[in-house]
Amino acid sequence: MVTAKDFAAELPVAPIHQRLGIQVLEATEERVVGTLPVTGNEQPFGALHGGASVVLAESLGSIGSVIHAGSAAQVVGIEVSASHHRAATAGMVTGVATPVHLGRTLATWAVTMTDDEGRTTCTARITCMIRPTASQ
């Protein structure tokens, strides 16, 4: 039997993660943690672009949903919302996704992003639809 940890280790690296510099540090059904560098992902005024924070949030929630659903399902993000609380202007932003609901057809995650000083920069919520693959 493949464990959630083994399954997470087999997930391919998304091209957008490479472009933005996102690193997934931990991935289980209970918690997904990743980082995003501010440098290279700023908006014109020098702060981390809010869209980059949303990509981090959606990525972490989607990874957790894939682990929850297993390899016999397809996961599709259907809703994401974010509130930006503080600008990050240097260093790394760390996102921690925890499940709000893990169901048979929907999975919802809360994601809190903090700067290097532990200050909350953004909170987000991502909901994914879980669909059986065509072979089921």
Beta strands in the chain (DSSP E): 23-27, 32-37, 73-84, 92-102, 106-114, 120-132
- 80, two tokens: 């994401």
Which domains can be identified in the chain, with CATH numbers?
Answer: 4-132 (3.10.129.10)
Of the candidates 47, 53, 60, which has an alpha carbon nearest to the alpha carbon of residue 122?
Answer: 53
Cβ count near 104 (within 10 Å): 10
pLDDT band of residue 12 (cuts 50, 70, 90) is confident
Q: Is 29 a catalytic residue?
A: no
d(CA 68, CA 32): 11
- 55, two tokens: 């990509």
Residues 17-54: tens digit of each pLDDT: 999 999 999 999 999 999 999 999 999 999 999 999 99
pLDDT at 135 over 70: no
- Selecting among 10, 26, 58, 79, the annotated active-site residue is 58
